[in-house]
Amino acid sequence: MTSAHPHDTSIRALYAAFLDGWNRRSGAAVASGFADDGDMVGYDGTHHHGRLAIAADFRQIFGGHQTATYVAVIRSVRPVAPGVAVLMAHAGMIPPGAADVDPRFHTVHTLVAVEEDGRWRISLLQATPAAWHQHPEAREALTQELRGLLATAR
């Protein structure tokens, strides 16, 4: 068991703002929490580098494609070094036009946050598919947990 980060609330809010920007389909909002030289590795492995490029890339993505909506649960926020923290979350995607998460698209989000001038910024956010082929019971448990979050939000 690792101890919570002393800036746990701020780092959780940073991740929540990222999800909110994504779910509103706003490239500017997605990018707003990133460090100037931040990186994002998407679910499909696409690498986006730099806050301005992330904003532009996602403005284009959101403008040309229907994207899934995220629902997520934060698993941990822990210190790595002074001014550096790691947030781990599991997220589900609700496909466009659907009302439920699709277990085929569960993901693990790893967020590395850095403190810059008293503000926490995203240095790296990586989305890794969470197929859990050898552990279908874990995938099903996550599906049920995310569905519970959806039911509470409604």
Q: For 92-96, which contacts have Cβ atoms below 8 Å and span 24 or more sequence positions?
A: 92/142, 92/143, 92/146, 93/68, 93/69, 94/68, 94/69, 94/70, 94/150, 95/68, 96/66, 96/67, 96/68
pLDDT digits (tens, 9 = 90+) for 110-152: 999 999 999 999 999 999 999 888 999 999 999 999 999 988 8
Domain residue ranges in the chain: 7-153
Distance CA 119, CA 124 (A): 15
pLDDT tens-digit series, residues 78-121: 999 999 999 999 999 999 999 999 999 999 999 999 999 999 99
Question: For position 1, what pLDDT does the model report?
Answer: 43
Domain 7-153 has CATH 3.40.50.720: no
